[in-house]
Amino acid sequence: AQSVTQLDSQVPVFEEAPVELRCNYSSSVSVYLFWYVQYPNQGLQLLLKYLSGSTLVESINGFEAEFNKSQTSFHLRKPSVHISDTAEYFCAGGVTGGSQGNLIFGKGTKLSVKP
C-alpha cells in the first residue's frame, strides 16, 4: 500500500536550536516528495519538493530536506529555528499510477518553537 509516515506527531524545540522532522515513504509511492507547511487557521503552503537530480533540496527560509532512496526517507531539517517556524508540517508523496495530480499525505508533525 502507498503510504507516507511522519514519525513524530509533535516536536517541541527551543528557539535557535536545530530541528529534524522525520518522514518515510513506502517504496510504492512515487519518488516525487514534498513538504508542506500549515500555519494556524491557514491552508497548506509548499515548503520544498524533490522531483529529481540533487538529493538535497532547500527552501527560501532555511529549511532543507534530503531524499534518501536506500532508507526511503525525506527528513526535513533546519539548523536554527525561529518562533515564526511554529506550524504543522506535512510530508507528502506523489501518487504513482492513475491518480494524477494527487498526493498521499503523512499525518503531520506539529513543530512548537519555544523562546
CA distance linking residue 52 with residue 36, whole number of Å: 18
Nearer to other proteins, 106 or 113 (CB): 106
Nearest distance, CB of residue 56 and other proteins, angstroms = 19
Nearest distance, CB of residue 102 and other proteins, angstroms = 5
CA distance linking residue 27 with residue 102, whole number of Å: 17
Nearer to other proteins, 46 or 56 (CB): 46
Binding stretches for other proteins (CB under 8 A) = 6, 9, 30, 32, 34, 36, 41-46, 49, 51, 90, 92, 94-95, 99-103, 105-108
Nearer to other proteins, 15 or 38 (CB): 38
Q: What is 54-79 written as a DSSP string?
A: -SEEE-TTS-EEEEETTTTEEEEEES
Q: What is the distance, to the nearest Å, from the Cα of residue 3 to the centroid of all Cα atoms in its chain?
A: 14
CA distance linking residue 51 with residue 40, whole number of Å: 28
Nearest distance, CB of residue 94 and other proteins, angstroms = 3
- Are the C-beta atoms of residues 69 and 56 closer than 8 Å to each other? no
Nearest distance, CB of residue 35 and other proteins, angstroms = 12
Nearer to other proteins, 16 or 58 (CB): 58
